[in-house]
A = this chain, B = another copy of it.
Amino acid sequence: MKNALPDPTIERLCSLFHLLETLAEQGLVTISSTRLAAISGMPAHTIRKDISCLGEAGRVGAGYDIQRLRAFIGNNLGLLQPRKACLAGLGRIGAAILAYEQMATSGFEIVAGFDSNINRLETLRTTIDLYPAYEIADRVRQKQIELGILAVPAEAAQEVAQRMFAGGIRGIINFTPAIISHAPGQAVSNMDLVRELTIVSAKIKKYSS
């Protein structure tokens, strides 16, 4: 751990990483921090500061080469090699995630699905391998899966997360409202619709008072 990046910087760089891909697809070649700011909503000096935390990537006077900057960020944050993920919970939300088109081009691959309901394992139409929930730790280890997605009922969330951690997973995306306790070195990102509605609602109130 030499010069650890601040978390907010990591988050913004990840957003830029995806944005740059979109820009490259549009055929653009170079871009300035000012233009990036207009597109992303972040201030231009924050973008420059974030990028320069990784080293020098632009050409003074000419801006950044889009492909080069994307590779530069991806390389520094370890985003270039594809990573394997698994999904626990094959209910409506889990099924929607499995069918989510964006995943295909994301650099992440869901390589296993788990559910405690054997019936679901048999009836779900999908090309990925499905296993019963008690196999989570073993399959994660066997397939060297690095990330887990939790789409189980809230009551089961902590236990399922524990099995993922036991298999060696260190990063979890948690779609349940449960709070996942975890050790240092493990990362959990919460995607709870009700919580986000609550926060947005409170922020609006703050703005208008």
Contact = CB atoms under 8 A, between A and B. Distances in A.
Interface of A: 1-2, 4-5, 7, 10-11, 13-15, 17-19, 39-41, 77-79, 83, 85, 92-93, 95-97, 99-100, 102-103, 106-108, 146-147, 149, 154, 170-173, 177, 179, 181, 184-189, 191, 193-209
A102 to B, nearest CB: 5
B102 A201 contact: no
B93 A100 contact: yes
A164 to B, nearest CB: 12
A154 to B, nearest CB: 8
- Copies of this protein in the assembly total 2
A97 B92 CA distance: 9
B173 A200 contact: yes
Contacts of A4: 206
Contacts of A201: 77-79, 83, 108, 146-147, 171
A147 to B, nearest CB: 6
Q: Which of A97, A102, A181, A185 has the most CB of B within 10 A?
A: A102
